[in-house]
Amino acid sequence: MSERTLVLVKPDGVRRGVVGEVISRIERKGLKIVALELRTLSRETAEAHYEEHAEKPFFGELVDFITGGPLVAMVVEGPRAVEAFRALAGATDPVNAAPGTIRGDFGLEIGANIVHGSDSTYSAEREIKLFFPDLG
């Protein structure tokens, strides 16, 4: 059974030039990219994407950060794609993320942790609709 997940290379990842590296790791793992777009998020889309964090103290900074430059949004497909990509990404705080993971290899700050991956199949469905409403 195949499933889909939404992956973002966040603006810090695009700025650092690791888009190719992230794509390469997704492909090496055996996951398939079925949609991909470079875009700059509006505050409205960013707030909808991170709606579960609306009451958190870092919400404003999170929205500033994710709208602060172009990002690469992708839909990634494969068996247990949600869990598989979260394993490639590593822990939310890059200092605690294992070396060998994307955040463990490229990040240092929790607020600039290079990639996003949906945290459940339910979130994935919601986020994919938000970013790629025309995807079948």
Stretch that binds ligand RTP, among 17-25, 39-47, 74-82, 106-114 (CB under 6 A): 106-114
10 labeled binding residue: yes
Cβ–Cβ under 8 Å, residues 72 and 19: yes
Residue 59 marked ligand-binding: no
In whole angstroms, what is the distance from residue 131 CA to residue 129 CA? Answer: 6
Instruction: Give the C-alpha separation, 53 to 8, whole Å.
Output: 17
What is the per-residue binding string for ligand RTP in 34-73, x denoting contact by CB under 6 A?
A: -------------------x----x---x-----------
Please tell me the distance from the alpha carbon of residue 2 to that of residue 99, in angstroms, as a whole number: 28
Query: Would you please indicate which residues are annotated as catalytic (active-site) residues?
Result: 116
Q: Note the residues at the interface with ligand RTP (CB under 6 A).
A: 53, 58, 62, 92, 110-111, 113, 116-117, 119
